[in-house]
């Protein structure tokens, strides 16, 4: 699998941002069939950092319903897999694409 077939997108929720700032753990949505070794290699190759540890979680999609003119419609969101990637001490991942030098200059 290619790097960006494994890493679908970073998860930028409030909870994930707090964890990344305090503990150096970054969260990604990954391919369902990717294993921890593939995820580790993909993050290291894509961002040029050293990964210490990878935890994976398979998230179950929620059941959804809505009312329409013809009656209620039921469905389900897709299942997905997310990875919590802990970087080596002192390393930072630039998910937002903002340089630290640009931030301090403004």
pLDDT in tens, 72-91: 999 999 999 999 999 999 89
In this structure, are residues 18 and 48 in contact, taking their beta carbons and an 8 Å threshold?
no
Tally of domains in the chain: 1
In a domain, 94, yes or no: no
In a domain, 105, yes or no: no
Residue 2's H or E segment, with its range, is: none
In a domain, 48, yes or no: yes
In a domain, 104, yes or no: no
Task: Identify the domain containing residue 20 by its residue range.
Answer: 3-89
In a domain, 36, yes or no: yes
Structure tokens at 8: 């679908």
Q: Give the pLDDT band of residue 93 (cuts 50, 70, 90).
A: confident
């Amino acid at each position: 699998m290619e790097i960006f077939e494994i890493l679908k997108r970073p998860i930028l929720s409030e909870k994930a941002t707090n964890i990344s700032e305090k503990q150096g753990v970054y969260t990604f949505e990954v391919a369902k069939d990717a294993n921890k070794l593939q995820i580790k290699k993909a993050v290291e190759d894509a961002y040029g950092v050293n990964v210490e540890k990878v935890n994976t979680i398979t998230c179950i999609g929620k059941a959804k319903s809505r009312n329409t003119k013809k009656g209620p419609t039921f469905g389900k969101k897709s299942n997905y897999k997310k990875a919590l990637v802990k970087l080596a001490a002192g390393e930072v991942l630039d998910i937002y694409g903002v340089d630290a030098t640009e931030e301090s200059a403004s």
